[in-house]
Amino acid sequence: MMLLVLCSIFLIFLIWLVSTVVNNMLLARELRRRLPNFRSIPALPVLGVILHYRRDRTPPGIFATFSGLHQRFGSDLISQSFLNLPNLQVTSASVVEQVLQAKTIRKSIIYEFMKPWLNEGLITSLGKKWAQRRKVVTPAFHFKILEEFLAIFNERSEAFVIKLQNHLGKGDFDIYEYITLCTLDIISESAMGVKINAQDNPNSSYVKSVKEMSRIIFLRLFSITREYKIFFLTSKAAQRQKVALSELHGFTDSVIRERKSQLKNDHSQKVMQEKLNETDIYGKRKMTLLELLLNISIEGHSLSDADIREEVDTFMFAGHDTTTSCISFCAYHIAQNSLVQDKLVSEMVQVIGKDFGNAVLKYSVLQELKYLDMTIKEVLRIHPSVPIIGRKSADDMVIDGATIHAGVDIAILIYAMHNNPEVFPNPKKFDPERFNEENSSKRHPYSYIPFSAGARNCIGQKYAMLEVKATLVKLLGSYRLLPCDP
């Protein structure tokens, strides 16, 4: 009897497997017919394009192979993942514009990996919920509010600079870890109003959990079985994720409870309401994202603690990892290019003064650092902090002049776009002058999208650029960055 049950289960699984593979291969063939300008990556039945990722392949490494496929096969590609599920990989600016401007579009499966932590915050939510949240959160990123955050940027980046003193004259070291802790301090204080002191306490359970969840999300992104949740749920990573989520959600929940209690005890719910009127939000009173969320309502209803947590967690994740990557690569390329470093220092002396490393930085002053702005943009070209974004067609949509049926995953490979030699000649060369006004005006507006584009572009891009600028000014005001071994 047991043998009969097992054989039946196996037969059902086999039928499902064959039908899935056949249907996916037929869909891939249909996409090839409809999109003659797209090249198709050679694939095997069931395994799809997995063999292109063999360890003996050149270039080595998952990401290098993934991005290198465009150099081998062409710009816009049709790929097939595990069980031959087809997806589109696009890099040409005109096609990217069509995808990002489409009205009926959803996020792709890669955003599902963030949901255990972020639930349905701004990054992962859709439709009406996303539109409402985007509207109510936008005031937290008005330039007057950002100007108030500069006090946090100043203080935390100064602490970061002091931490680096231990490496003076001691050879090469990886600056990434120090920057991670600095950006965690900055985002926690500006988003939640809480000092987690990550730079002084790098081994805290919250800091470790942030890193663990980030690592799990990115590993799932490149997993060959990523489309099938059951494989993840039976892995050790799922258990580690459970532990990390307990810490992350517990911490955010405790902060929300504490802040709500403080507001109730405030002799003035009225005082907080006054903070929310237009005069104060766009005036001198600093307000964290958490305070804003605690005091707004949508359609007459206050946000629940769960609603607030998903937005705060979203900004904790997105607001530290991306800026860490950008600042780290900025430091690397500035160290590698002494002439660029000289120009940056010269500009900072001219705009801020000789003692610019100890200056209290202001919003208006940072906007005058044009060469610094160009340098950061060039870093984000070579190393976009978010190298891939994903979309899925919600309804039939037109791509490259052809109608694509609903449900097709579309990967926009920002990394490949930014390193396209036809758009950016000699792309490996570090050259901030690519982003002077004259050169920038010659390019298609969708050829350079480090913060995405369209309606769902990054709401925090001005915050991020301000944080990166402030940190680099403090860094270059204290040290000469020297190149390490390649």
Whether 302 is in a domain gets the answer yes
Considering Cα of 376, then 382, then 388, then 389, what sign does the dihedral take?
A: positive
Which pLDDT tens digit goes with each residue over 392-423? Answer: 877 888 888 888 888 898 999 999 999 999 99
Domain of residue 382, residue span: 91-476
Does some domain include residue 84?
no
User: Per the domain annotation, does 295 fall within a domain?
Assistant: yes
pLDDT at 282: 37
Predicted local confidence at residue 415, as pLDDT: 94
Low-confidence ranges of the chain (pLDDT < 50): 267, 278-285
What local confidence, expressed as pLDDT, does residue 284 receive? Answer: 45
Kindly report the pTM of this predicted structure.
Answer: 0.89
Question: What pLDDT was estimated at residue 265?
Answer: 72
Amino acid 4: pLDDT: 77
For residues 388 and 413, is the Cβ–Cβ distance under 8 A? yes
**Domain holding 448: CATH number?**
1.10.630.10
The answer to whether position 14 is within a domain reads no
Q: Please report whether residue 337 resides in a domain.
A: yes
Predicted pLDDT of residue 266: 63
Number of domains within the chain: 1
User: What is the pLDDT at residue 57?
Assistant: 64
Whether residue 327 is contained in a domain is answered as yes
Both structure tokens of 132: 């409402």
Buried b / exposed e along 2-23 (16+ C-beta atoms within 10 A): eeeeeeeeeeeeeeeeeeebee
> Does residue 13 fall inside a structural domain?
no
User: What residues contact residue 419 under an 8 Å CB cut-off, 6+ apart?
Assistant: 67, 381, 382, 427, 428
Cα–Cα distance, 184 to 7 (Å, whole number) = 53
pLDDT one-digit tens code per residue, 388-399: 998 887 788 888
pLDDT at 105: 72
Residue 64 falls inside a structural domain: no
Residues 6+ apart with CB under 8 A from 426: none
